[in-house]
């Protein structure tokens, strides 16, 4: 924002070994949860859902100034099965800040952070210990990119991995990347929470940020909330409308969900 691998069987056996012995091996945990994350990422690509964003500028006391950005989109599939974004609600933006391409990349790819097996070589990942998140036992890791590549955005912060399902259930950090020296881009710290969908995958459902962005000439406090709702698995022979699977052999089709 500018101012204005191990094989799955081997990993499973190794994981059972340290679990039985009570000896935590962080490298084995990383390998196992990264494989789970890859499976999750592929599964999420077959789900429709609604993504709602509300981004507000606040005064120093934390009160809304009235300058905001709101956007509601349905992530759906065309009748031909092509994944697409359908804008449902997009009033005129009134921010004094300038939303940059990096902000949009963070919204779509960094805030709902996924750390898969192919991503592991790009990051330094350090085990910090065990910790509970909403009564869920978790392994806590710090995550930092090893090198920043022009045009790519990365996550830097901490992740919490469920010690049973070995999937990320919470992230806390910010988006980072190569920024031109002449630019004055600043990016907020955020938290993203996941919930279990269909009893199997932990999908992101909520991202929040309440931070002060310090630019060269001024500072601006902001608040952001992103919700990911109405996850539904896509059935290839159906037409997707407003995030619902609609079977065209039955009628009438389901009404679109209310905002």
The domain tally of the chain equals 1
Asked if residue 253 is part of any domain, the answer here is: no
Residue 235: pLDDT band (50, 70, 90) is confident
Asked if residue 21 is part of any domain, the answer here is: yes
Q: What is residue 37's predicted lDDT score, i.e. its pLDDT?
A: 96
Asked if residue 244 is part of any domain, the answer here is: no
Q: What is residue 233's predicted lDDT score, i.e. its pLDDT?
A: 94
Q: What is residue 92's predicted lDDT score, i.e. its pLDDT?
A: 96
**Cα 71–39–31 angle (5° rounding)?**
115
In tens, the pLDDT along 160-197 reads 999 999 999 999 999 999 998 878 999 999 999 999 99
Residue 255: pLDDT band (50, 70, 90) is very low
Q: Which of the pair, 21 or 60, is modelled with greater confidence?
A: 60
Q: What is residue 240's predicted lDDT score, i.e. its pLDDT?
A: 37
Asked if residue 110 is part of any domain, the answer here is: yes
Asked if residue 200 is part of any domain, the answer here is: yes
Average pLDDT over residues 76-97: 94
Domain of 216? Answer: 8-232
Asked if residue 86 is part of any domain, the answer here is: yes
Instruction: Round to whole Å and give the CA distance between 146 and 121.
Output: 8
- pTM of the model as a whole: 0.81
CA dihedral (214, 218, 223, 225) positive or negative = negative
Asked if residue 241 is part of any domain, the answer here is: no
Asked if residue 251 is part of any domain, the answer here is: no
In tens, the pLDDT along 134-143 reads 999 999 999 9
């Amino acid at each position: 924002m500018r101012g204005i691998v191990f094989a799955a069987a081997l990993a499973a056996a190794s994981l059972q070994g340290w679990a039985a012995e009570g000896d935590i091996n962080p490298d084995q945990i990383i390998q196992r949860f990264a494989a789970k994350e890859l499976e999750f990422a592929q599964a999420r690509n077959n789900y429709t859902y609604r993504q709602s964003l509300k981004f507000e500028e606040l005064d120093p006391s934390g009160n809304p100034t009235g300058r905001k950005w709101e956007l509601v989109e349905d992530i759906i599939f065309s009748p031909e099965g092509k994944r697409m974004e359908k804008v449902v609600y997009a009033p005129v933006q009134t921010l004094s800040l300038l939303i940059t391409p990096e902000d949009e990349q963070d919204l779509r790819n960094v805030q709902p952070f996924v750390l898969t097996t192919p991503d592991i070589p790009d990051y330094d990942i350090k085990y910090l210990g065990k910790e509970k998140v909403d009564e869920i036992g978790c392994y806590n890791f710090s995550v930092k990119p090893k090198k920043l590549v022009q045009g790519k955005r990365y996550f830097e912060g901490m992740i919490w991995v469920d010690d049973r399902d070995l999937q990320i259930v919470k992230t806390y950090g910010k988006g980072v990347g190569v920024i031109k020296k002449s630019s004055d881009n600043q990016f907020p710290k955020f938290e993203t929470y996941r919930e279990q969908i269909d009893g199997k995958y932990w999908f992101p459902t909520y991202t929040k940020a309440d931070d002060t962005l310090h630019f060269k000439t001024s500072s601006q406090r902001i608040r952001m909330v992103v919700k990911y709702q109405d996850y539904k698995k896509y059935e290839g022979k159906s037409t997707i409308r407003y995030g619902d699977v609609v079977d065209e052999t039955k009628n009438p089709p389901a009404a679109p969900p209310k905002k």
